[in-house]
Chains A and B, each alone.
Chain A
Amino acid sequence: MSDNKPCREELLQWINVVSFAVDDVKLFLDTHPCDENALEYFEEFKKQRVQALKEYAKFYGPLNIDSACTPAERWAWISSPWPWQEGGC
């Protein structure tokens, strides 16, 4: 994980891309549970997603509870805008 602050919009866009890949292949795997290519694809994008969410939480606050940085001085979950608000994700 780099200490250089990543661009928020770019990182968020990347999170949306890798998360969508996971969402989509997850459905495919439900009906094709033994598809080797899909299993590999899932593994790769899941890894990228976890990494990107961790990176985002470090600089801009957590998007989910598992990537929240603890301990913290203040509960960051409520600090960033909600997704439907201006500046939200």
Chain B
Amino acid sequence: MWNYEKRLQYPVKITQTNPKIAQVIITQFGGPDGELAASMRYLSQRYSMPYNEVTGILTDIGTEELAHMEMICAIVHQLTRNLTPEQLVESGFDKYYVDHTLALWPQAASGAPWTATYFQSKGDPITDIHEDMAAEQKARTTYDNILRLVKDPEVCEPIRFLREREIVHYQRFGESLRIIQDHLDSKNFYAINPEFDTRSCCK
């Protein structure tokens, strides 16, 4: 169950449109290391996770990623509102516009559509948490790459906030990995997969 709160996690108030940079930033909506993939990754992985701390972190970070997706969409929307046909052609946003007008659609900067193949839900806690830690770093790098291209402080500020959250999430997943390993055989973490081999039918 989810409840909506009618505000952004961090304010987005952009006064100058910039369709060129919007085409880059949209990758954090529907790209390989974007917020939609992040949210779906964690919210998918949590069902078979056997440790309450880690199920909690997957649920709460997966939820926060939805709020980040909303911030990215707000940024792209504000960067592309009220564009004229001339501005569309000039900025190269015409290729997006012809399929989606000025609506939001999850795609990478390259135009590749969002796909569930951007993430894995492997059903092994060590494997999944390693993927999650890598995902946070990949998203952090993407924000670093975006920040090199953005000059407008009204765009930079919310992007910097999102970048910092990747680092905090990475930290929490690191702690989650430690919690998982504390439950396992310290001489061989890989002796069993606790999402499969400890079910009652296998005992």
On whether the two chains bind one another, the answer is yes
Is B135 interfacial (CB-CB < 8 Å)?
A: no
Interface residue B20 (Cβ < 8 Å from any Cβ of A): no
Interface residues of A in 24-43 (CB under 8 A from B): 24, 26-28, 30-33
Tally A-B pairs: CB < 8 A. Answer: 68
Contact of A30 among B4, B53, B78 (CB under 8 A): B53
Residues of chain B within 8 A (CB-CB) of A23 are 9, 64
Q: Is the CB of A31 within 8 A of B176?
A: yes
Bound Cα distance from A15 to B6, whole angstroms: 12
Contact B60 A27 (CB under 8 A): yes
CB interface residues, A 60-89, toward B, < 8 Å: 62-66, 77, 80, 82-84, 88-89
- Nearest CB of A to B182, in Å: 11
Q: Interface code B46-83, partner A: CB below 8 Å = 1, 0 otherwise? A: 00000001001100110010000010011001100000
CB distance from B2 to the nearest CB of A (A): 11
Interface residues on B, range: 20 to 34
Chain A residues, Cβ within 8 Å of B73: 84
In contact, A30 and B5 (Cβ under 8 angstroms): no
**B8 interface hit (Cβ, 8 Å):** yes
A59 interface hit (Cβ, 8 Å): no
B168 within 8 A of partner (CB): yes
CB distance from B106 to the nearest CB of A (A): 16
Residues of A whose CB lies within 8 Å of any CB of B are 12, 15-16, 19-20, 23-24, 26-28, 30-33, 62-66, 77, 80, 82-84, 88-89
Residue numbers of B with Cβ under 8 A of A are 3-12, 53, 56-57, 60-61, 64, 70, 73-74, 77-78, 168-169, 172, 175-176, 179
